[in-house]
């Protein structure tokens, strides 16, 4: 049971380039999330999904897109990278009811845009 996995661990992008951050979970969780963590700040929600085919925006969605074609995978797409997107990105998943579920996090992807 690997839990939540993310690839790549590190990436450097040039301004204007695109990339996809991969996230997968093997716990059969319905809910999945993408957060970003900036230095000295709390994590902020980018996008979330309540099941395959269903996604919605979080607090800071601009510049990102997501898809959820399977229960296991929840990739995050950056279309035109900007320096403001330099951050550490965490994927998480959870199951259970809205009132009780616990979120489990992946190891993160450290992205630098120059």
Partner 1 sequence: KQEVTQIPAALSVPEGENLVLNCSFTDSAIYNLQWFRQDPGKGLTSLLLIQSSQREQTSGRLNASLDKSSGRSTLYIAASQPGDSATYLCAVRPRTHHSGAGSYQLTFGKGTKLSVIP
Q: Which positions lie near partner 1, rule CB under 8 A?
A: 4, 31, 33, 40-45, 48, 50, 56-59, 90, 92, 98-100, 102-108, 110
Q: Residues 51, 68: contact at Cβ < 8 Å?
A: yes
CA pair distance 34, 36, nearest whole angstrom: 7
Which is nearer to partner 1, 86 or 105 (by Cβ)?
105
CA pair distance 106, 83, nearest whole angstrom: 23
Question: Smallest distance from the beta carbon of 98 to partner 1, in angstroms?
Answer: 6
Which is nearer to partner 1, 14 or 41 (by Cβ)?
41
Question: Smallest distance from the beta carbon of 108 to partner 1, in angstroms?
Answer: 5
Which is nearer to partner 1, 54 or 80 (by Cβ)?
54
In sequence order, what are the beta bridge partners of 112? Answer: 12
In sequence order, what are the beta bridge partners of 20? Answer: 77
Which is nearer to partner 1, 14 or 28 (by Cβ)?
28
Q: Residues 54, 68: contact at Cβ < 8 Å?
A: yes
């Amino acid at each position: 049971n690997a839990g939540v996995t993310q690839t790549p661990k590190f990436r450097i992008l040039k301004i204007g380039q695109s990339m996809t951050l991969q996230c997968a979970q093997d716990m059969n969780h319905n809910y999945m999330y993408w957060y970003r963590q900036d230095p000295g700040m709390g994590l902020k929600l980018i996008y979330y999904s309540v099941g395959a085919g269903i996604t919605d925006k979080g607090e800071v969605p601009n510049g990102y897109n997501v898809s959820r074609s399977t229960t296991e995978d929840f990739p995050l797409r950056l279309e035109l990278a900007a320096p403001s997107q330099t951050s550490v990105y965490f994927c998480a998943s959870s199951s259970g009811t809205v009132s009780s579920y616990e979120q489990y996090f992946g190891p993160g992807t450290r992205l630098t845009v120059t």
